[in-house]
Amino acid sequence: MSVATSTAIGLGIAAATTATGAYVASKASNNATAATTNATGEALDFSKQQYADLQARLAPYNAAGQTASQRMSALLAQSPYARQAAPPAAAAPPQQPGPAAPPPGAQVVTLRAPDGSTKQFQQGDPAIAQATAAGAQAVG
Contact 122, 106 (CB under 8 A): yes
Which pTM value belongs to this model? 0.34
109-122, pLDDT tens digit by residue? 888 988 888 988 88
Q: What is the pLDDT of residue 88?
A: 62
CA distance linking residue 110 with residue 96, whole number of Å: 18
Contact 93, 112 (CB under 8 A): no
6-29, pLDDT tens digit by residue? 776 766 777 778 878 788 888 888
CA distance linking residue 78 with residue 51, whole number of Å: 34
Q: Where are the domains of the chain?
A: 1-81, 108-139
Contact 99, 127 (CB under 8 A): yes
Query: Which residues are bridge partners to 119 per DSSP?
Result: 111
CA distance linking residue 96 with residue 19, whole number of Å: 106
Residue 32 pLDDT > 80: yes
